[in-house]
Structure 1
Amino acid sequence: MNKKIRVTGNVQGVFFRKCTQQKALELGIKGWVKNEPDGSVLTEIEGEFYAVMAMEEWLRKGPPNAKVEALWEEEGEKQGYADFSILY
C-alpha cells in the first residue's frame, strides 16, 4: 500500500521529519518525508496495510511539540523504496 500524506499545522521546527523517520523505521514503512515551502510536511509512505494505517494514525498527532491541524492524503502506486529518507 502506498499513500502520499500532507500534514498541516505547527509541523516544521519541531523535529517532525526526524520523528516521522523513526516511527516509519519502527513500523517497517518505506518512503520519504520533507518540509514544504508552505509550512506543511509532505510524506510518501508504503508498506503493509496495517503498518500504513498505524503510520497514518501517528501522523494525525505527530511528535510531542507538533500541533497537527489537518491531513490530506492520496493513495498511489507502490514505488519500491528501499528505506525511509528525510528529503531536504
Structure 2
Amino acid sequence: MDKPRNQLITEKSIRLLQQNQYTSHVDSKLTKTEMKSWIEQIFDVKVEGINSSRVRAGRKTRLNSNSAGGRKMIIKLRSNSFIPLFLN
C-alpha cells in the first residue's frame, strides 16, 4: 500500500486544520479503507471519516513538469486526536 504522496498546504487546508481535518495527495489507486487503516496504524489516531476526490492532471509547461493527476483525500480525526503537520 502506498502512503500519501504529500500534504496539501493551501488556504482551505489550513482552515480545515482548525476543524481537525487533514488534506493530502495520495496515489489514485488507494481506497478510503486502505487510507484509514494506514493513518490509524502509523499515527495511532482514530479516523472519523474520509472524503476523496479525483484531481485532474494539470497542463504541462516548460517550467513545471510535475502535473500528474491523482487523488486528494481529506481525513477527519476525532476531536482528541491530531497528526503532526510536517513529517518526512
Instruction: State the TM-score, normalizing by the size of structure 2.
Output: 0.40
Higher helix share: 1
- Where relative contact order (Cα < 8 A, 6+ residues apart) is larger, the structure is 1
Higher strand share: 1
Instruction: State the TM-score, normalizing by the size of structure 1.
Output: 0.40
